[in-house]
Chains A and B, each alone.
Chain A
Amino acid sequence: MKRIILLQTVVLLILFIAGYSLAGTRETFERHFMLSPWSIAKGETSACIQCHTSDNMDPEMHAIVREWKDSWHAKNNISCHDCHGGAPEDASMSMMHQRGFKGTPEDIDIPEFCGTCHIAILGNYLNSGHGKTFNDTAEGPSCVSCHGSHDIQQASMDIINEKLCSQCHTYDRAKEMKQALFFVENKLSNVRENLGRLQLAGIDVGDQEKSFFRTHAEFRALFHSIDVEAVRLKSSDYTKQLEVIEGDISRAFEQLAFRRNFSAYLFLIFIGLSIVVFLLSKSYESK
């Protein structure tokens, strides 16, 4: 009898201690995990979007949201407040300078405005012919001259074209730069396409994408120096970096081929087994 009472006391004590210690854990768990903002609310309640799409706004204000929604920024979750600051979760305070609201930048401030995120590009741009002209005259090409503002699309070689460049100068030098970029750009494009194909096939290419992004960003930053010689000199470095990624891509495709062959092997085995079982079944039925 004493043993049973002792056993019950021990069990109760264990349960009490476990429950007591878990109570704190549960609170922390709820605070940090269960109620984290994994909800669609974040996007839906952006005060910027709600206000700019309201009926009280001018149509051109509506166009800003429309253009942004189709932009490369939107596809990468870069929202209004990431550039313009403010408090998107609080409509009454969203445009208060105390909450970091920057509003629309003056033309002269555009490079600094975009350079908040595109740091390496800003440095190369300011030291380039484009940046120097812009700083000296406040009229030269800034970021939006080539990339646009809210309808920004993923940058490509197509941006360097006669129509755009010849607005300010002859196309010859731009053409020379385009030729210097061609080989690495082509490789970048192939690698991006193959990474996309692998991702669709369910292959984890997270590390390769990071490496690709780094190479891509560095190369694009270098381009903004508008220095053809520098681009030519560094091209072999970028080619090597891309070849490492291409090696990984090639191994991933081999892995996909192995999976297909292995599945096909199992498929054939079961076809064979089903034929054997079917014939066996028929032979028993005829007996």
Chain B
Amino acid sequence: MWAKLKHWIEVRIGLEELVNRHLRSYRTPRGANFLNTLGFVALIAFIVQVITGIMLLLYYLPHPDHAFQSVQRITNEIPYGWLFRLIHNIGSNIIIAVIIIHLVHVFFRVSYKRPREVTWITGCLMFFLVLLTSITGQLLPWHQTGFWQTTVTSTIPAFLPFIGEGISSYMRGGEFVTGITLSRYFSFHVVILPVIISALIGLHVLLIRRQGISTSPALEPENSNIAKTEFSCEEHRQGQPCFPHFSLKRLFMVMIYFVVLFFIMTFMPNLFLPPEANMPANPLMTPETIRPAWYFLAPYQLIKTIPNDLLGISLLALFTIIFTFWPFFDAKEEERNIRKRPALMGVVLVLLALWACFTVWGMY
């Protein structure tokens, strides 16, 4: 029966040839480790968000009078609705952590260099869009935390001269957070941003497939004599086949992703749902502390610390631009092994330490 079914599929799509060409013959670099799989884990995390998001969308009502109640109904009345809501809530934080680690890992391996500049830029853009998806998603349950976080985050762009007020006003759809804001954020969260992210994922994966997975300069030095003026795919003939070797590493890391997810869900289910997240939005009652999500604590504290708001937000904007287009700023330097570039390594480590310090500082 199984053989017949396999043959039926084989005749129609040539599955065997497809697997051979794209998985068995496709080779990964020698020494590719578990950290190399983080991009794939982020992809799976995104798919999990999409699936759970669709489940929530079936019952969610994007209206100020009904949004909170509909989320309460999902959590308490719909069978296993709590499971989907918690996976979506905790997963949205894990995906950001995974992308951050992935970006730091890629940066330390200096894998962004020619010809992978566009791969790096699409990765950065996806990271910013995932953050934006997270911001827009916070308002949807229409609880106190989301309402006031949105009030604060939508005020931040207003510090920019000339265009700032316009951006803030566009984000809110007016002067204050209203039903228009909810409607706008809902559209961005469930359609516009996921579609753009999906398109960027497609481009990112296509580039990786065409160029080959980047090598570790320490384990498999690239042949620097080859002038990269023409297209060439790194075939990694000495490396391992993608299937089953690298695929199992990927699968292991995906399992770890779920282990972390369910660990948080079991022992700290309200880690990302503070007490105010269980109270309906009340525009008349400001919570005692309005704190952004953990991944925004560093920029939030930076803006709070720098006495001039314009300077603070300009610094952030400048940092974001340099970070996104770093491959072009770093184009002249040929060396790919970061251990041989102490200045760059030092700056990155200091920036990471500062980011961690500002995050911890922002909690208090």
Contacts and interface: CB of A to CB of B under 8 A. Distances in A.
A274 interface: yes
A281 B83 CA distance: 30
A120 interface: no
A38 B284 CA distance: 10
Interface string B53-76: 000000000011000010011011
Given A267-B262, A267-B263, A39 B248 contact: no
Contact of A36 (B77, B86, B179): B179
A40 B275 contact: no
Nearest to B257: A270
Interface in A17-45: 33-36, 38-43
Contacts of A57: none
Nearest to A41: B176
A270 B282 contact: no
B278 A40 contact: no
Residue of A199, A202, A285 contacting most chain B CB atoms (<10 Å): A202
B64 A38 contact: yes
Interface of B is mostly: helix
Interface in A192-213: 199-204, 206
B255 A267 contact: no
A34 B248 contact: no
A93 B290 CA distance: 35
A39 B283 contact: yes
A198 to B, nearest CB: 9
How many of chain A's residues touch chain B, expressed as a range? Answer: 35 or more
Nearest to A256: B269
Nearest to A196: B275
A278 B270 contact: no
A77 B178 contact: no
A175 interface: no
A266 interface: yes
Contacts of A281: 245, 248-249, 251-252
A259 B80 CA distance: 9
A25 B259 CA distance: 48
B252 A77 contact: no
Contacts of B262: 263-264, 266-267, 270
Interface in A247-287: 259-260, 262-264, 266-267, 270-271, 273-274, 277-278, 280-281, 284-285
A271 B269 CA distance: 18
A36 B177 CA distance: 11
Interface residues of B, number: 47
B258 interface: yes
B256 interface: yes
Interface string B172-199: 0011111110010000000000000000
B159 interface: no
Given A267-B262, A274-B255, A284-B245, A43 B269 contact: no
Nearest to A285: B245
Contacts of A77: 282, 284-285
A199 B143 CA distance: 13
Given A202-B277, A204-B73, 11 more contacts: A33-B63, A34-B183, A36-B178, A38-B177, A40-B284, A75-B285, A199-B278, A202-B82, A259-B269, A267-B259, A273-B255
Interface of B: 63-64, 69, 72-73, 75-77, 82-83, 86, 151, 174-180, 183, 240, 244-245, 248-249, 251-252, 255-256, 258-259, 262-263, 265-266, 269-270, 273, 275, 277-279, 281-285
25 contacts: A38-B176, A38-B283, A39-B175, A39-B176, A40-B176, A40-B284, A41-B175, A77-B285, A199-B279, A200-B270, A200-B278, A202-B270, A202-B277, A202-B278, A206-B69, A206-B72, A259-B82, A259-B83, A260-B269, A264-B262, A266-B262, A270-B255, A270-B262, A278-B252, A281-B245
Q: What are the 10 A-B residue pairs with the smallest beta carbon separation, nearest first?
A: A39-B176, A274-B255, A267-B262, A281-B248, A204-B72, A263-B266, A43-B284, A263-B265, A204-B76, A270-B258
